[in-house]
Structure 1
Amino acid sequence: MLGSKLDDYLRFNESALSLRSQRQNVLASNIANADTPNYKARDIDFSSALQSALDKANPNQPQTLTTTAKKHYPNPLQDAGTLADGTPLLYRGVIQGAVDGNTVDMDVERNQFADNAIRYEAGITAINNQIKSMMAAIQSGS
């Protein structure tokens, strides 16, 4: 029972941090492929992905099976258009096309990468503050 309440207390920030980490990998991949012909820049819709992650973590929602070995099929099946947790990868809109078909705009990618990193750090700070407030409550109660 206590574990469930603790999970509920930390769930939002935990889900947000996990998603921010995955998004950072997607943005880094865009930057790494800036010179790859026909590479299409990808991103995720963070707010809808976070809502989906929170819905999946809700104990009142039906749960899907978790794979336990590399040979198991993921549930749902994954393809190049989804992250490991089922979050859909979207194509970033083309601002200025390139002759080689690459849609990575380095200014946009660097800005998104920096913004996501700052928000990740803010999430770490929020979790640290939650833990500090729990510790203070425990210590004042004894």
Structure 2
Amino acid sequence: MSFFGSTIQNLEKSLDFATVKNNTIAQNIANADTTNYKSKNVVFKDVLKNELEDTFETKRTDPRHLSFSNLDRSQSFRITQNNSTMYNHNGNNVDIDKEMTDLAKNQIYYQALVDRINGKFSSLQSVLRGGN
């Protein structure tokens, strides 16, 4: 059993996710006018992995299919590329309005995580000081 429980570890993983998502959104925005650039997104792998864990067999019939047996267990998210759409005549599929909305949501999410982890550390600090 961990002294801190799993809360701080979960918050840390969530902060990692929010950071990668922010970087991915920033990359999409920076490449909004780049010819043939395809937008990227950060998704959780754990959700699907947990649902399919040891109960679902997959067979790859094409190299582009996902391999469920080789999932990286150390990281709960991955970056995907959207190749199925094209919004601009130059082959680019970045929707700047969507990206700006996602960026604002992610910033709020990140700040909430920071506030939560600060609260956890404040509680620990209070306990260490004897409740003062």
1:93-136 per-residue CA deviation (whole Å, 9 max, x = no partner) reads 63x62111100000000010111011111110000000111112
Gaps of 5+ in 1: 56-75, 79-84
How far apart are 1:50 and its partner, in Å? 6.5
Flag structure 2 segments of 5+ consecutive residues without an equivalent: 51-69
Relative to its length, the structure with more strand (as a share) is: 2
Question: Normalized against structure 2, the TM-score is what?
Answer: 0.69
Q: Deviations over 1:7-65 (max 9, x none)?
A: 633111111001100111000000000000110000012xx24769xx9xxxxxxxxxx
Bigger proportion of residues as helix: 1
RMSD of Structure 2 on Structure 1 (CA): 3.0
Paired residues, what number? 110
Report the 3-state secondary structure (helix = DSSP H, G, I; strand = E; otherwise coil) of the residue aligned with 2:4: helix
TM-score (normalizing by structure 1): 0.65
Alignment of 1:14-93 (within 5 A): 14-45=12-43, 48-49=44-45, 85=75, 87-92=77-82
Runs ≥4 residues deviating over 3 A:
49-52
- Partners of 1:108 and 1:120 lie apart in 2 by 18
Percent identical pairs in the alignment equals 29
2:125 — aligned with what? 135
* 2:16 partner letter: S
Query: C-alpha distance in 2, partners of 1:100/1:38?
Result: 6
Alignment equivalent of 1:12, drawn from 10, 13, 19? 10
C-alpha distance in structure 2 between counterparts of 1:6 and 1:51, whole Å: 25
